[in-house]
């Protein structure tokens, strides 16, 4: 166990005990720093008891026809647990409701696994409920047990898609596979967390390092543009440590583009910091809200995506987020899971909790109304739905870009309306795209996709301005502000060339999303191209305004000074003397897309280079 503290478990079961076996196997293989002291059942015939006996474990049968363990029996049970020094009780297919006396005797020390994505489908027959409701996703949930039925704080969840061919049995079997994976991991988070609470702060086991609450706050605020209610975050961190319950950190992603880009990773990095302190991240894919379309920052109504487009893009997101996030502490969820079950009555009740006047205070809505531009009803719904997600997920913290502030505040207010503690809000800055003007966006053509080839990522990073380089260092790397200031100072003093600093930045980003070897190869390729003078180290820059039209390349050559006339430009093209972004231009009718910000290298002859910047 490598010196880790071993916790003592009691397992409660009523049936075949497959989850008990998954836990016991994890203990036996050394993956779970725990020891099973007792296996308890309400049924003498439970198959799980025989499996426990074959492992040499102590078994106990405490019959019950209804609620399990009243006041008297709870006292006897507690004394038995003390004798065996049981520290955590794990329900593994235990088919009895625990009495309040029992729950109170083990506060925040009872775990349960339930075969649905709570809070939907609690109680009996959750798979049947899922199939009858027509949901597209089900799964399982590990949660702390309180005095309600499957209502305690959620620790971890795993999502399982519902297939058209599923019946109750097949869905249950596929969920069970996830249960066997999830439950030992959740127990491990509780009994073997990276951090344990001491009076003066968090203590990282095994290295003697103590991180105070104030140091945690400083760590979590790296790169944060605005933190709403830091005192509440401090209180949540203290409460989490005292109860052993990780905070639930929510961030929503609308699947409007098929790939993640560096702009998305700003938030992912901040989410990972919470994971480094032992908390749980909920990566929420807004497949339902994606059908509406987020109006944030829009000057016109955005066309919603089809269900097919949303589903395809959501799957692509899932494949990419674990390049940064820790899969062990990540829940991937979909808000269609609860919103597709929302009745008309529920929706009207939700809508009654917010006023139109408050909604129209939103900056982009008010601007459009002043210009007599329409605001559709479905756009007013979007912030309500996003806010309700926080209610369902019981989020402690929600993250978003600075352009999402209104939506995040709605979630905070709705949680208060529904009797929950309002979430703390962390807003992250928006990363500028390659043009250095507008925020990074696939639709604007100024993005660096994290799945692009290593050489493409490297080249795009090298194309940004020297001034923008420091912004990328701050938001796209793990360097401290001290280290970034040192680089800035070295460049200013002339001891470090800006190009060398940019190479280090490009290699750092490529390493994260590909590998060290890929970063080295990308650097070699970049230097090879430059050593052959395919592109000069310095070239003249010319700007063109964004336009709705596509411009003939011959006209662009005249505008940027590479040809005295359109006729001469055409002749140069026919002589194979013109290339755009290293591609030879042979069509005299070739055009350049000026409808969005971009950066291109236009070359005429051997020495005529111009960087054409649109925007």
The rounded distance, in Å, linking the Cα atoms of 131 and 137 is 10
> Which residues of the chain fall short of a pLDDT of 70?
1-6, 64-80, 82, 192-211, 256-258, 290-307, 310-311, 314, 529-538, 606-607
The rounded distance, in Å, linking the Cα atoms of 454 and 521 is 8
Nearest to 610 by CA among 571, 573, 580: 580
Nearest to 429 by CA among 485, 478, 476: 476
Residue 349, classified by CB atoms within 10 Å of its CB into exposed (0-12), middle (13-18) or buried (19+), is exposed
Beta bridge partners of 34: 7
Strands (E), 499-594: 540-544, 550-552, 578-580, 583-584, 591-593
Which residue is listed with tokens 């030992």? 184
The rounded distance, in Å, linking the Cα atoms of 424 and 465 is 35
Q: Report the run of H or E that residue 151 belongs to, with start and end.
A: none
In this structure, what token pair is assigned to residue 268? 């992912």
CA distances from 376 to 41, 59, 369 (A): 57, 63, 11
The whole-model pTM stands at 0.58
The rounded distance, in Å, linking the Cα atoms of 157 and 186 is 9
The rounded distance, in Å, linking the Cα atoms of 397 and 485 is 30
CA angle, 176 then 181 then 187, to 5°? 115
User: What's the helix, strand, coil split of the chain in %, to 5?
Assistant: 45, 20, 35
CA angle, 106 then 107 then 113, to 5°? 80
In this structure, what token pair is assigned to residue 583? 């591609």
Residue 433, classified by CB atoms within 10 Å of its CB into exposed (0-12), middle (13-18) or buried (19+), is buried
Q: Taking the CB of residue 449, how many other CB atoms lie within 10 A of it?
A: 20
Classify strands 110-114 and 88-91 as parallel, antiparallel or unpaired: parallel
Nearest to 278 by CA among 200, 192, 158, 399: 192
Residues contacting residue 492 through CB under 8 Å, at least 6 positions apart = none
Q: What domains sit in the chain, N to C, each tagged with a CATH number?
A: 7-191 (3.40.50.170), 195-424 (3.40.50.620), 454-531 (1.10.240.10), 540-614 (3.10.290.10)
Give pLDDT, residue 59: 92
Nearest to 131 by CA among 145, 146, 120, 142: 120
Classify strands 154-161 and 195-198 as parallel, antiparallel or unpaired: unpaired
The rounded distance, in Å, linking the Cα atoms of 576 and 604 is 9
**Contact call for residues 228 and 425 (beta carbons, < 8 A):** yes
Strands (E), 379-491: 397-401, 424-428
**Contact call for residues 526 and 520 (beta carbons, < 8 A):** no
Nearest to 269 by CA among 220, 331, 199: 220
Catalytic residue numbers read 114
Which residue is listed with tokens 């049970």? 77
């Amino acid at each position: 166990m490598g010196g880790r503290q071993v916790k003592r478990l009691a397992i409660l079961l009523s049936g075949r005990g497959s989850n008990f076996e998954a836990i016991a196997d994890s203990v036996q293989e050394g993956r779970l720093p725990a020891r099973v002291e007792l296996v308890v059942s309400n049924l003498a015939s439970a198959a799980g008891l025989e499996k426990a006996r074959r492992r040499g474990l102590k078994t106990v049968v405490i019959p019950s026809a209804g609620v399990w363990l009243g006041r008297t029996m709870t006292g006897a049970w507690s004394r038995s647990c003390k004798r065996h020094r049981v520290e955590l009780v794990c329900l593994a297919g235990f088919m009895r409701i625990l009495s309040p006396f029992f729950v109170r005797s083990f506060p925040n020390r009872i775990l349960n696994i339930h075969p649905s994505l709570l809070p939907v489908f609690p109680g009996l027959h959750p798979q049947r409920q899922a199939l009858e409701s027509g949901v597209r996703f089900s799964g399982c949930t590990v949660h702390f047990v309180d005095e309600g039925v499957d209502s305690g704080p959620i620790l971890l969840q795993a999502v399982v898609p519902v297939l058209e061919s599923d019946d109750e049995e097949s869905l249950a079997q596929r969920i069970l596979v996830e249960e066997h994976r999830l439950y030992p991991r959740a127990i491990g988070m509780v009994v073997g967390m990276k951090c344990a609470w001491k009076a003066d702060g968090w203590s990282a086991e095994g290295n003697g390092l103590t991180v105070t609450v104030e140091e945690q706050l400083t760590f979590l605020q790296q790169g944060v543009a605005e933190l709403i209610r830091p005192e509440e975050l401090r209180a949540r961190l203290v409460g989490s440590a005292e109860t052993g319950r990780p905070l639930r950190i929510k961030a929503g992603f609308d699947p409007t583009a098929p790939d993640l880009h560096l702009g998305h990773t700003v938030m992912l990095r901040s989410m990972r910091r919470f994971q480094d302190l032992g908390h749980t991240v909920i990566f929420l894919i807004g497949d339902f809200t994606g059908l509406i379309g987020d109006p944030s920052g829009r000057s016109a109504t955005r066309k919603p995506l089809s269900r097919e487009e949303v589903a395809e893009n959501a799957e692509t997101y899932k494949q990419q987020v674990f390049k940064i996030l820790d899969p062990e502490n990540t829940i991937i969820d979909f808000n269609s899971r609860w919103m597709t079950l929302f009745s008309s009555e529920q929706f009207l009740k939700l809508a009654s909790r917010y006023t139109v006047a408050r909604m129209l205070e939103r900056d982009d809505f008010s601007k459009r109304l002043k210009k007599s531009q329409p605001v559709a009803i479905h756009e007013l719904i979007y912030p309500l739905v996003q806010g309700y997600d926080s209610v369902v997920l019981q989020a402690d913290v929600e993250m978003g870009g600075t352009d999402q502030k209104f939506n995040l505040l709605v979630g905070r207010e709705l949680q208060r309306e529904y009797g929950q503690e309002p979430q703390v809000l962390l807003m992250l800055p928006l990363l500028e795209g390659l043009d250095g003007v507008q925020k990074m966006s696939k639709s604007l053509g100024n993005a660096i996709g994290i799945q692009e080839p290593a050489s493409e990522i490297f080249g795009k990073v090298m194309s940004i301005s020297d001034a923008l380089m420091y912004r990328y260092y701050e938001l796209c790397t793990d360097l401290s502000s001290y280290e970034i200031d040192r680089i800035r100072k070295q460049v200013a003093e002339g001891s470090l060339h800006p190009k060398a600093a940019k190479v280090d930045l490009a290699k750092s980003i490529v390493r994260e999303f590909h590998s060290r070897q890929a970063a080295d190869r990308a650097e070699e390729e970049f230097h090879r191209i430059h050593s052959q003078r395919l592109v000069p180290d310095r070239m003249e820059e010319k700007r063109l305004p964004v336009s709705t039209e596509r411009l003939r390349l011959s006209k662009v050559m005249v505008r940027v000074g590479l040809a005295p006339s359109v006729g001469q430009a055409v002749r140069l093209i026919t002589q194979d003397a013109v290339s755009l972004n290293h591609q030879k231009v042979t069509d005299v009718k070739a055009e350049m897309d000026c409808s969005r910000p971009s950066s291109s290298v236009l070359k005429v002859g051997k020495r005529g280079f111009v960087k054409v910047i649109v925007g």
